[in-house]
Amino acid sequence: MLWFDLDDTLWAMTDNSTDVLRGLWHDMALIRKAYPDGPEAWLDVYHRVNAGLWRDYAKALISRSCLRLERFAIPLVEGGIPRGEAKAASLSLDGIYLDRLGSCPGLLPGARELLDKVETSPLSKPGIISNGFKEVQHRKLVSSGIEDYFSAVVLSDDIGVNKPDRRIFDHALAATATKAEDSIIAGDNPLTDILGALQAGWQRAIWFNPTVAPLPPELARYSPERLQTAASLEEVAALLGV
C-alpha cells in the first residue's frame, strides 16, 4: 500500500502557513507592536521557532500543548512583548491560525496530477500518515478537495505517537490490514517520514526533496531499492510507475 505524508508533500504547508501568518500580522495589533517594520521579520522568527519546536515534538521532547503555546509566545517575547502578555495571547492566536490554515486550499505543484495518476493505476487507494493536529488535517484535505483520494488517514494526534516512532507506522499497517514488506511511503521529511518508515521495515521510501538537500547520514546505509529521492512530484509519479 502507498502512503503519503500531507504537509509539504501534497498540501502546500509552507506557502499556506506564510499567507495565514502574514494575515495575522495585518490583523493583530500585538504582533504589529512586536514587529512594527513589517511582516517579514515576524515570519522569519515564527518559522525558525516553529521548526525547532516541531523537531522537539517529533522526538517526544515536548508536548502538543507546549508546541501550540510556545510557537506564538516565543516570537512575541523575542519582539519585546512581556512573557505574561505573550502567553495570554498565544493560545488565542494559535486557534485563529489553525482555523484559517484549515481553510487554505493550496496544493503543491503536481499534487493533484500525481493523485489522479495513482487513482487510475493498479496501485491500491493510498493513505495519509501525518504528525499534524487532528483539528486541522482533515479540514486541509477537504479544503483542497483531495479527501476522496485516500482510503485511510492516520494522525499522530489520534494515537499519541509521532513519526518517526515505529508505532505509528505499525498502527497504519494494522488499521489497513497490510504488511510492511508491501508498503511504500512518499514524504518530504527525511527523518520523520523516510527514516521512520524504513526503520519500521517498510518496503520502500521515496524522499520528496525539492530543495535537493544532501542525504542525511542516518539514511546512508539504505540501498537504492529501498530509498529513492525525487525533486518534484512528477518524479515521484515516475518512481511509482504511474
Q: What's the pLDDT tens digit per position in 66-111?
A: 999 999 999 999 999 999 999 999 989 999 999 999 999 999 999 9
52 or 64: which leads in pLDDT = 52
pTM for this one? 0.92
Q: How many CA atoms lie within 13 A of 19 on its CB side?
A: 11
Q: What's the pLDDT tens digit per position in 19-52?
A: 999 999 999 999 999 999 999 999 999 999 999 9
Q: What is the pLDDT of residue 8?
A: 97
Q: What is the pLDDT of residue 165?
A: 95
Separation of alpha carbons 170 and 172, rounded Å: 5
Separation of alpha carbons 169 and 152, rounded Å: 13
Separation of alpha carbons 151 and 174, rounded Å: 14
SS3 category, 4: strand
For residue 59, pLDDT beyond 90: no
Q: What is the pLDDT of residue 135?
A: 84
The DSSP code sequence of 139-175 is HHHHHTT-GGG-SEEEEHHHHT--TTSHHHHHHHHHH
Q: What is the pLDDT of residue 231?
A: 98
- Residue 176 near residue 1 (C-beta atoms within 8 A): yes
- Residue 149 near residue 125 (C-beta atoms within 8 A): yes
Q: Which residues 6+ apart lie within 8 Å of 65 measured at CB?
A: none
Q: What is the pLDDT of residue 191?
A: 95
Would you tell me how many other CB atoms lie within 10 Å of the CB of residue 145?
Answer: 11
For residue 60, pLDDT beyond 90: no
Separation of alpha carbons 180 and 152, rounded Å: 16
Q: What's the pLDDT tens digit per position in 111-132?
A: 999 999 999 999 999 999 999 8
Separation of alpha carbons 241 and 201, rounded Å: 22
Q: What is the pLDDT of residue 184?
A: 98
Q: What is the pLDDT of residue 234?
A: 98
**% of the chain beyond a pLDDT of 70:** 100
Q: What is the pLDDT of residue 91?
A: 86
* Residue 58's pLDDT band (cuts 50, 70, 90): confident
Q: Is the peptide bond before 164 cis (omega within 30 degrees of 0)?
A: yes
Please tell me what DSSP assigns to residue 47: H
Mean pLDDT across 235-240: 98
* Residue 220's pLDDT band (cuts 50, 70, 90): very high
State the amino acid at position 13 in one-letter form.
M
For residue 214, pLDDT beyond 90: yes
- Residue 164 near residue 172 (C-beta atoms within 8 A): no
Q: What's the pLDDT tens digit per position in 147-181?
A: 999 999 999 999 999 999 999 999 999 999 999 99
